[in-house]
Structures are given as C-alpha cells and as structure tokens.
Amino acid sequence: MRQLVWSLVALLALFGVAGCEDKGLAIGVSAPLSGDIAALGQSTRNAVLLAQEEINAKGGIRIGDKLEKITFIIEDDENRPESTATVFQKLINQDRVVAIIGSQSSKCSNAGAPIAESAGIPQLSPWSTNPNVTRGRKYVFRSCFIDPFQGKEVAKFARDTMKARTAAVLYDVASDYNKGIAEVFRDEFARAGGRIVGFETYNTNDKDFSAQLCKIKGANPDILFLPNYFNEVPLQIQQARKLGLTCKVIGSDSWDNPELIKLGGREMEGTYFTNHYSPDVDRPASREFIAKYRKKFNAPVDAAAALTYDSVYILVQAIEKAGKAEPRAIRDAIASTKGFNGATGTISYNGTGDPVKGAVIIRIKNGKFVFDSAVN
Amino acid sequence: MLDTVIQQLLNAAQLGAVYALIALGYTMVYGTIRLINFAHGDIFMLGGYIGFLLVTAVSGMPLVVMMPLAMLLTALVGMLIERVAYRRLRNAQRMSLVITALGVGIFLENLVRLLVGPQARQLPAQLPNGVVELFNGVVVTEDKILIIFISLALMVILWLFVHRTLMGTAMRAVADNKDAVQLMGINLNMVIAVTFAIGSALAAAGGIFFGQAYSIDPYMGIDLGWKAFIAAVIGGIGSIEGAVLGSFLLAGVEVLTVAYLSSNMKNGIAFGLLILLLLLRPNGIMGRPELKKV
C-alpha cells in the first residue's frame, strides 16, 4: 500500500513538472481524430501542425513588441457532441487556452459553442456550415460559408444546370449539418420550380439504406441529393446503383475527402458537389498552401485542411492586431477582420460570425475532384 | 406494388441474416453461462477485420479459404477472451461479468482502431455481385442471395450440431443445469469454450458478409450488436430458433416501417412494437420462463 502511494506521488510530481514547462501561447483545437470521420481529423491536425511549424520557425507570434512561441493543444472529440463538450471544458478550464479552433462537424461545434460563449473564449470553426453554430453568439465564428447559401446553390445547380425537374433527398436526421442543408435544399428546389418526390432519413452509423433507396426508386426522381459525410456517401451510391436507381447524384461540401473516392471508386464518377474551394482555381495563396501541405504530408488536400489553415492564420492575425493575448480583445479583432487573403478565398466579417464567401462546384472525373464552376 | 413489397422483403432478409449471425452468439453464451456478452458485437467487428487482413495479406485468397480461416481465428479469439476475462468471474456477481464484457468490447474497438486505423474499409468484393432481375423490375444482387443462403446454411449446421451431436447435447445440458452437469463428469470448461468458439465463428461470418455488402470500421459492432442483442431478446434469449426468428422479425419491421410509414420513425416504431411484444411475452417468442429453485 505504501509503495502504491509513493509511486502515485512520484507520478503526480512528474506530471506537475511536465505541466510547468513553458510552451508559450496556448490555443486549443477540437478535431475528430478518431471516430467515423477520422480521416478528416487527420487533415485538421496536419494543417494545424503545418501552421504551427511555420509560425514558430519565424520566432512565434508578435504580441505587442515581443515574439511569443505558439502551441496548439489538439484534442480528439471523436466527432461526438458529448465528447466535444468535454474537450471544450478541458481546453478552457485546464489548459487555459485563449481561443479554440474547431470543431469540424456542425453537431460538434454546436455542442462546444455554448461553453466557449459563456466562458468568453473565441471559437473559430473551420468547416461547420450549419447556421445555428454562430447564431446569437458573440464569441463564435467560422471561416466557411453557411448552408442556407450552399443549399440554395446546390438546388439552383440541380434545377438550372442539371435540368432536374424532380429530386429526392436521403439524409442523416441525427446530424445537425445533414438535416439543416437537406431542409434548405427541399425548400429552395421547390422555390426554383422543381418537385421533391422523396425525403428520406436514416440515423448516424446506419449502413443499410436499401429500404429508403427502394422507396426513392419507386418515386423515380431526376436527381438524388446526398448531403452526408464522405464515409457514408459511397455506400449510399453503391446501394442505390445495385437497386437499379440510375438517376444523377449530387452532394455538398461534406463529400470533400480522399476517402470518398477510395471507398466509392467507379460509382462516384460523374457526380457533382459544392465545395469551399478547388485546388484547380489558381490563386497564389491556395497554390502556396497546397504545395507546402503536399510536400510535408504527401497527402491530398481536402477543404477541411485548407479551412483549418485559414482559421489558424485568421486567429494569429487577430491576436497580433489585438496586441495582447486576451480573449475579449482577440474576439473583437476577429470580428473586424477584413479582406483576409486565405487559401480558400478572401474572408471578411460583417458584424456576425459568418464570413462572406463564394463556393465552387466540383465534378468527379476519373477518380479526381475537378473544378466545374464558381458561384458567389 | 407487389414488386416493391418483394424487393423490400429481400432487403429485410439480408439485414435479418446478418442480425441472426450475431444474435446466435448472444443467445448461445447466455444459454450456457447466463452472461449477456456485450463484447459480442465487437467480436463481430473483429471477424470482419480478420477477414480483411487475410485478404490484404494474401491477395487473391478466395473466399472459400478466407472465410473458414477467419472464422477459425475469431473462434480462437473468442475462446481466449472467455479464458482470460470471464472464466475466473464465472461465479462472481452477475454484474462484474457484464461490466467486464463491456470493457472487453471497448478494448477490442480501440485495439483495432490503433492497429488498423479508424477509417472505414471495404472488403474486396469476393462474392459475385452481378444484378439478377427476378421479374418485372425486382432486382437482387447475387451477393445478397448468397449471403442469405450461406447464413441460413450455417444456422442449419448449428442446429444439427446442437441437437444431433454429443457436444451439442452437453451444451444443452449445461444450459439446463450447470452444477448437475459437472456431477455427470462433463467437462464444463470445455463445453463453455466450445460455445464461445462457435458463437464467435458465426459472428465472424456475419462480419465478413457485412464487409462485403457494406463496409467495416472499428465501431460497427456497437449499433449492430445492440440490434442483434434486441433480436435475441425478442426471440427469447437462450433459444437458438428464437434468435433467428427475432432477427428476421426485427429486420422486417424496420424495413417495412421505412417502406410504408416513414424512415423518420423507423427506430421509434420498430422498438415500440418490440416493447409491446415483450409486454405480452416477457420471455420472448420462444423463450421459456426461468424456473427458480428454492
């Protein structure tokens, strides 16, 4: 027993010492490093580490008249809202971070947002497009467009470019993002003169969609909209094709990850989805980021990585502008960001947490994401 | 109209077959040692991964070799889990065993996540998957038919094993009275180990079929494990026929709810009906009320 007590004391001392080590300015990151969209968590982590290395190689971040090193504390939220809440609590109360980047899926960012808001810690989500994430909150921002815009653009594209008269939707009803954009699409497609002939749901982690798809097949739509995450979409398309559903398929920004092609293969050919940016659009800031990312990680760049990278620099710029590492001052500096030239486009905030940004439409051709058109 | 019904029933049959392969493991283990083995869903997942690793290690390994081999390996893992985690707790409080089983499940999920990675994988398609048109627009893929028939064949073999062999008789005897069995000179540990082996092997078959038809990931056993557990309870936990019946019933109710009511209400209606059924028959469809000896 005594031995046990002593070893515990020793262990605590060890952690205590490790905890005292000076790491400079701490910023939290909440990312889905494990769980269903873990592939996206990896891109998030890569983008953060790339930015951290660059910033610290220059000596750190300039606060007032001195340079301070920066440390990103990356925590795994497992893409689960309840875990995200725990991560936010830990980052704010234990690590005493001055700001948080994350999370990626809207359901997780939504779970973290009330915690950041009440603690007065700025939160900047790279990839959460659901409008509720920032609504009515002062400290919560994002660096991507929102779903009312994206859903409208997909609906317009389906109606005008793809000439679809009827559409069906299959979406995850247990996830904020999927549900939000599915409803926007439904309304916008009808407003554009189309008819929704199927509006079917499933629950996160379901893998058999044949019952829903069978029903959709019976309604014979011109187009099928799948606003779901890249780990599920391939299964949905494969099952649809096997059941003899031959209509065109479109998706949204949640498709953008190399896993989509890896799992879906040939079945993904000829589909379209809306996205935050395309590596094909030649902008100096994008080109530079993509080259650095590919060189360091030898991996394809998804939008989440680019958005995360932009989020880090928006935050760094805001801290430098604020001149002090104080959450309230940082919040005000983010809110007044104008014309930030990022990898995913130019980002400005106009009084809310949502930036004004355009979108692109991507087409899948020969197993690659190819730029199709841009919308603003 | 009729063609959609048949199409939907085929969808239900495939789902039911996978549920049944998992539910059998729950019911067999419960039958012998009265343990609800909550790690069983994860053994199903592990079976899928062992199959996946075998095909990746030896490319071109045909399914007829890969599947028995994966079932054998998973059976060994099942026996190992019983030996290491459950045997010494067999006479402990029931709750300790259940908590241990949950722990084993979480351990397996994280082990696979660390060793293989968290991303979803697809088993290379090894079953023929051409599309057959039965009649009048009713399509079914060949792999779907094969999955249903191989699963049913495995269930028939299991039934014969349990009812027609000496070991099967011993298993039924253990289910009846664990203490009396030992007095008859039956090796209890051996019988229980065989039960775990068979349950795990069937789960592995389910995992491989699942990977062929859908995809595998480290957490796939959680939700499916629950569904299969519920199917076993509906059928009457401890009863082999009941587990199969319960699985097809659950899958049928789920699919038909989506088809004719609303996909939004799938789980609500499916489980609502099941609660109703259990209120009317608390021991499940085929279950026998447990006799308490005073």
What pairs with residue B58 in β-bridges? none
Asked, for residue A223, whether it belongs to a domain, the answer is yes
Closest-CA distance of chain A to residue B258, Å: 6
Q: Which of B7, B214, B258 lies closest to A212 in CB terms?
A: B258
What is residue A342's predicted lDDT score, i.e. its pLDDT?
Answer: 92
**CA dist., res. B21 & res. B26, Å (int):** 10
Contact list in A for residue B139 (CB cut-off 8 A) is: 242-244
Question: CB–CB of B258 and A211 under 8 A?
Answer: yes
Asked, for residue A364, whether it belongs to a domain, the answer is no
Among A217, A242, A239, A243, which residue's Cα sits nearest to residue A228?
A239
Q: Which of A173, A208, A259 lies closest to B214 in CB terms?
A: A208
What is residue B242's predicted lDDT score, i.e. its pLDDT?
Answer: 92
Question: CB–CB of B217 and A34 under 8 A?
Answer: no
Write the DSSP assignment of A95-144 as a string of letters.
S--S-EEE-SSHHHHHHHHHHHHHHT--EEESS---GGGTTT-SSEEESS
Contact list in B for residue A245 (CB cut-off 8 A) is: none
CA angle at A142 for the pair A141 and A147, rounded to the nearest 5°: 120
Question: CB–CB of A35 and B131 under 8 A?
Answer: no
Question: CB–CB of A243 and B118 under 8 A?
Answer: no
Average pLDDT (A170-187) is: 94
**Of the ranges A12-21, A57-66, A308-317, B109-118, which one carries the lowest mean pLDDT score?**
A12-21
Tally the domains of chain B: 1
Question: CB–CB of A36 and B4 under 8 A?
Answer: no
Asked, for residue B275, whether it belongs to a domain, the answer is no
Q: Are B110 and B49 in contact (CB under 8 A)?
A: no
A364 CB neighbour count, 10 Å cutoff: 22
Look up the domain containing A123 and give its range.
21-145+283-357
Q: Give tens-digit pLDDT for A296-354.
A: 999 889 999 999 999 999 999 999 999 999 999 999 999 999 999 999 989 999 889 99
Q: Among all residues of chain A, which has the CA nearest to that of B264?
A: A201
What is residue B270's predicted lDDT score, i.e. its pLDDT?
Answer: 80
Contact list in A for residue B12 (CB cut-off 8 A) is: 211
Q: Which of B4, B217, B266 lies closest to A36 in CB terms?
A: B217
pLDDT at B290 exceeding the cut of 70: no
Q: Give tens-digit pLDDT for B181-190.
A: 889 888 999 9
Whether A215 contacts chain B with CB within 8 A: yes
Q: Do A164 and A247 fall within a single domain?
A: yes
What is residue A2's predicted lDDT score, i.e. its pLDDT?
Answer: 63
What is residue A1's predicted lDDT score, i.e. its pLDDT?
Answer: 59
CA dihedral (B218, B223, B228, B233) positive or negative = positive
Phi, psi angles (nearest 5°) of residue A225: -100, 125
The two structure tokens encoding residue A29: 């990151």
What is residue A16's predicted lDDT score, i.e. its pLDDT?
Answer: 52
DSSP state of B283: T
Q: Among all residues of chain B, which has the CA nearest to that of A172?
A: B264
DSSP state of A267: G
Q: Among all residues of chain B, which has the CA nearest to that of A32?
A: B118
Asked, for residue A371, whether it belongs to a domain, the answer is no
Tally the domains of chain A: 2
Among A149, A123, A126, which residue's Cα sits nearest to residue A138?
A123
Question: CB–CB of A205 and B222 under 8 A?
Answer: yes
Write the DSSP assignment of A23-52 as a string of letters.
--EEEEEEE--SSTTHHHHHHHHHHHHHHH
Q: Are A197 and A227 in contact (CB under 8 A)?
A: no
Percent of chain B whose pLDDT exceeds 70: 98
Asked, for residue B276, whether it belongs to a domain, the answer is no
What is residue B292's predicted lDDT score, i.e. its pLDDT?
Answer: 57
Distances (CA, A) of A325 to A316, A319, B82, B257: 10, 6, 55, 55
Asked, for residue A136, whether it belongs to a domain, the answer is yes
**Of the ranges A1-15, A54-68, A243-257, A361-375, which one carries the lowest mean pLDDT score?**
A1-15
Q: Which residue has the higher pLDDT, B208 or B269?
A: B208
What is residue B267's predicted lDDT score, i.e. its pLDDT?
Answer: 84
CA angle at A92 for the pair A88 and A98, rounded to the nearest 5°: 115
CA atoms within 13 A on the CB side of A297: 19
How does residue A19 score in pLDDT terms, banded at 50, 70 and 90?
very low
Q: Are A217 and A245 in contact (CB under 8 A)?
A: yes
Among B201, B249, B195, B258, which residue's Cα sits nearest to residue B227?
B249
Asked, for residue B273, whether it belongs to a domain, the answer is no
Whether B283 contacts chain A with CB within 8 A: no
Asked, for residue B250, whether it belongs to a domain, the answer is no
Q: Give tens-digit pLDDT for A125-152.
A: 999 999 999 999 999 999 999 999 999 9
Q: Do A228 and A157 fall within a single domain?
A: yes
Closest-CA distance of chain B to residue A79, Å: 12
Average pLDDT (B117-142) is: 79
Whether B118 contacts chain A with CB within 8 A: yes
Q: Do A308 and A322 fall within a single domain?
A: yes
**CA dist., res. B182 & res. A2, Å (int):** 43
Whether B215 contacts chain A with CB within 8 A: yes
Q: Are B257 and B265 in contact (CB under 8 A)?
A: yes
Distances (CA, A) of B9 to A163, A209, A234, B12, B255: 34, 14, 23, 5, 8
ipTM of the complex: 0.82
Q: Do A139 and A169 fall within a single domain?
A: no
Tokens 């409008």 found at: A131
Q: Do A99 and A165 fall within a single domain?
A: no
Whether B122 contacts chain A with CB within 8 A: yes
Closest-CA distance of chain A to residue B77, Å: 24
Q: Which of B11, B118, B214 lies closest to A207 in CB terms?
A: B214
Q: Which residue has the higher pLDDT, A297 or B286?
A: A297
Q: Residue A296: give its domain's CATH number.
A: 3.40.50.2300
Q: Among all residues of chain B, which has the CA nearest to that of A244?
A: B139
Whether A229 contacts chain B with CB within 8 A: no
Tokens 């989805």 found at: A273
Q: Do A128 and A151 fall within a single domain?
A: no
pLDDT at B160 exceeding the cut of 90: yes
What is residue B13's predicted lDDT score, i.e. its pLDDT?
Answer: 92
**CA dist., res. B62 & res. A190, Å (int):** 50
Phi, psi angles (nearest 5°) of residue A162: -85, -10
Query: A195 CB contacts (<8 Å, ≥6 apart)?
Result: A165, A166, A167
Q: Do A271 and A294 fall within a single domain?
A: no
Residue A227: strand, helix, or coil: coil
Q: Give tens-digit pLDDT for B166-182.
A: 999 999 998 888 888 88
Closest-CA distance of chain A to residue B185, Å: 43
What is the overall mean pLDDT for chain A?
91
What is the overall mean pLDDT for chain B?
88
Whether A219 contacts chain B with CB within 8 A: no
Whether B182 contacts chain A with CB within 8 A: no
The two structure tokens encoding residue B66: 């890969």
How does residue B59 score in pLDDT terms, banded at 50, 70 and 90?
confident
Contacts 24+ apart (CB under 8 A), B149-153: B150/B205, B150/B209, B151/B17, B151/B18, B151/B20, B151/B21, B151/B205, B151/B206, B151/B209, B152/B17
Average pLDDT (A248-275) is: 93
Whether B119 contacts chain A with CB within 8 A: yes
Asked, for residue A298, whether it belongs to a domain, the answer is yes
Q: Do A59 and A118 fall within a single domain?
A: yes
Q: Are A123 and A139 in contact (CB under 8 A)?
A: yes
Percent of chain B whose pLDDT exceeds 90: 45
**CA dist., res. A129 & res. A126, Å (int):** 9
Question: CB–CB of A214 and B254 under 8 A?
Answer: no
Q: Do A137 and A25 fall within a single domain?
A: yes
Whether A298 contacts chain B with CB within 8 A: no
Asked, for residue A342, whether it belongs to a domain, the answer is yes
Q: Among all residues of chain B, which has the CA nearest to that of A199?
A: B263
Q: Do A138 and A196 fall within a single domain?
A: no
Asked, for residue B267, whether it belongs to a domain, the answer is no
pLDDT at B294 exceeding the cut of 80: no
Q: Do A151 and A268 fall within a single domain?
A: yes
Indicate the residue among A223, A242, A275 that finishes a domain.
A275
Q: Do A140 and A46 fall within a single domain?
A: yes
Q: Is A46 left (phi over 0), alpha (psi -120 to 50) or beta?
A: alpha
Asked, for residue B248, whether it belongs to a domain, the answer is no
Among B160, B107, B124, which residue's Cα sits nearest to residue B52?
B124
Bridging pattern class, strands A123-125 and A359-365: unpaired
Query: B95 CB contacts (<8 Å, ≥6 apart)?
Result: none
Average pLDDT (B130-157) is: 84
What is residue A8's predicted lDDT score, i.e. its pLDDT?
Answer: 63
Indicate the residue among A250, A275, A300 that finishes a domain.
A275
Whether A214 contacts chain B with CB within 8 A: yes
Contact list in B for residue A211 (CB cut-off 8 A) is: 8, 11-12, 254-255, 258-259, 263
Asked, for residue B99, whether it belongs to a domain, the answer is yes
Asked, for residue A10, whether it belongs to a domain, the answer is no
What is residue B277's predicted lDDT score, i.e. its pLDDT?
Answer: 87
Asked, for residue B263, whether it belongs to a domain, the answer is no
> Strand runs (DSSP E) across chain B, as ranges?
131-135, 138-141
What is residue B239's predicted lDDT score, i.e. its pLDDT?
Answer: 87
Asked, for residue A13, whether it belongs to a domain, the answer is no
What is residue B293's predicted lDDT score, i.e. its pLDDT?
Answer: 53
Whether B6 contacts chain A with CB within 8 A: no
**CA dist., res. A52 & res. A70, Å (int):** 7
Phi, psi angles (nearest 5°) of residue A74: -95, 120
Look up the domain containing B193 and give its range.
11-219
Q: Among all residues of chain A, which has the CA nearest to that of B1?
A: A218
Phi, psi angles (nearest 5°) of residue B177: -160, 105
Q: Among all residues of chain B, which has the CA nearest to that of A78?
A: B118
